[in-house]
Structure 1
């Protein structure tokens, strides 16, 4: 399996993946108003690729200038699901499956507005089993929304949905409340039955959540004795958790890569020009110290120079004591690939709870070895992990409520990582380093500039 997270030029990355399709493209997204991507889908359909698109039936899509039915005329499949009033909860997943092998998932909606937002996608390739499960989810969405309706009402399904709602309310997970409410309403017949359930729905919709939780518990106590039901949402939650685990790993890889870039720059900076800068700051500090002894107006300036020197000295000592091994470009690529493979197997946020402590230790060792360019150590960790010492959370949890807890937790981790990555990319330090094309030339010129500055200070 290969994964790659993207935070910039997302539309271009999606188009790149779509153009590689040879056999089929299946897309299920809430909002689709990106005309350029739609044109590409039409081109693929004309070329003989099977293209199927599902979006929600809401005002955003209905007001789009895109002629969606054009895809159907070209031999593809287009389906708008949900009613016109409440459909946003139907498509809580956003995904694309290409040739039954590559999956695109993430927070990015395929709309014009999304291009202006801080969103992301993860491209997962060489994982046919995950692709198969998403294709199954695609078919499930179609089955649920092709107008077949519900014959009668199932107490077991209703009870399970109510308990899922109670759990979400207790977690304060507002994002999923509307989704679960929509699922519950589809289970209820259009008659005067299930008055208690409809009363609970009304309490939730009027934000009387404590009373709603209490009523759900009371309803469950009176019904559990007469109904047993296996929740069909379990496979859906398991798939949600599985892809979130992959997204966490991909985002962690991206974050580690950015941090490694800054770490490598700081190390190189200390080695190449640290001593010169130290001498410059020392001369400035000493010069201002002498001036401040004679002129009180110079005291603040001297204190600033003293602080600059102390802060630099601390960073310089830390950086100069570190060791980063020299590796070839081929070794660097091998290190990157092996690190990513290891991260997928031992990230402490995705392994089963029983393995979390040991996984945390190994993950820390992995990050340290990666920062040092220690190819041998990373390969040794990979060899250990290949033995299957850890299992992912998604493979060990089968209870719906526990699955939902983990989905909420990992979804929060994904958001946190995305925020952290965006912060790094926007930082002054990263912006400065990211534009350097050739580090050898950069540090050579910087050293000359600083040497000239030092010479001038010494001459004065």
Structure 2
């Protein structure tokens, strides 16, 4: 019953304001909510734009409804009031979280703007160093493989020489001087083969298997991925900052204020179940408008929410005690989740930094100095790695 009453009050005010858009937005919903002939007659008058007749019929119908005394279960009334209090608590927590996230986003964008070029250079150097390390390891593996193959070749040749010497020794008289010399040569050749075999075994232990290169390859891939990810984040931050600079300070502040106001009105966690899809759609539109820096679009969304999307909370819609209690349990669970999320967020290093930072300029100056030192150290490492690879 309360929904048509509120709907007609909105339409009545819209007629007085001569606002056709609001009338049309409410008319479709009123048509689906009309439960008696008087309401259907009002719908027909509005559709025919017979606003004089519609106004008179609306006034009469509202007066008749207000004259009726409707009994309400006190438990339902109390539960609805408790649910509304829980919803307001949830709304405040969502707003608090949004404020924290917004503050972190603004700081991160500023961080990318101030330190992004230095960080990009550092990540590029790390990427180069990881690639050089992988190449060095691969070159070392190829060198060892070549040494091993050469050792195999020498040993094969030595074995052939040993076979030839053995054959000659067998052909000589056992007590001849030549046989004694041949035995010495055989011993020398055997020692050579033993040394080559030991060298081959040592080289085998030093051979790099493909899986042993995996850490260096993974480090190279991670450095590449980190660089590309950071470059994309840096670009997005620059785009947002450019859009922000296109707005006046007054418009920037209004955009933040309106976004928080609208997100409180249409956040999917806050609306009645039958409005969640619509709330999700509006939330997407809201966030897109924020990304574009479109103050006008957000202002329009807020107006739509205030005029045509209320009542949106479950406490405005539900009148069944069991459903109200079920919704209360759901909202309490959402509140507990948000409280935990906020507690975790406020323990994070990034939030502790942002919330306690007094001198932003001094902080960024110190960070720039530290990052330049890191860049210099990495440049030296890259130069050394390049010299090693050229040697």
TM-score (norm 1): 0.45
Unaligned runs of 5+ in 2: 1-70, 141-207, 384-391
Q: How does 1:34-433 map to 2 (within 5 A)?
A: 231-292=73-134, 293-294=136-137, 300=215, 303-304=218-219, 306-322=221-237, 323-324=239-240, 325-326=244-245, 330-370=250-290, 374-391=294-311, 392-433=313-354
Q: Secondary structure at the match of 2:283?
A: helix
Residues 243/343 of structure 1: CA separation in 2 closer, same or farther (3 Å cut): farther
TM-score (norm 2): 0.52
Match of 2:368 in 1: 447
Q: Which runs of at least 4 in structure 1 moved beyond 6 Å after TM superposition? A: 295-299
- Residue deviations 1:359-395 (CA, integer Å, cap 9, x gap): 1111233244446654333222112212132322211
Residues 354/457 of structure 1: CA separation in 2 closer, same or farther (3 Å cut): closer
Rg (Cα) greater in structure: 2
- Alpha-carbon distance, 1:319 to partner: 4.2
Say if 1:249 and 1:343, in contact at 8 Å, map to a contact too.
no
- Alpha-carbon distance, 1:336 to partner: 4.1
Say if 2:98 and 2:260, in contact at 8 Å, map to a contact too.
no
Question: Which is helix-richer, 1 or 2?
Answer: 2
Q: Give the count of matched residue pairs.
A: 232
CA distance in 1, matches of 2:338, 2:117: 36
Two-structure CA RMSD over aligned residues (Å): 3.0
Determine which structure has greater relative contact order: mean sequence separation of CA pairs < 8 Å that are 6+ residues apart, divided by chain length: 2
- Residue deviations 1:323-347 (CA, integer Å, cap 9, x gap): 3213666555434443333233222
Residues 280/350 of structure 1: CA separation in 2 closer, same or farther (3 Å cut): closer
Residues 357/350 of structure 1: CA separation in 2 closer, same or farther (3 Å cut): same
Say if 2:255 and 2:290, in contact at 8 Å, map to a contact too.
yes
Say if 1:285 and 1:302, in contact at 8 Å, map to a contact too.
no
Q: Secondary structure at the match of 1:267?
A: helix
Residues 331/441 of structure 1: CA separation in 2 closer, same or farther (3 Å cut): farther
Question: Which is strand-richer, 1 or 2?
Answer: 1
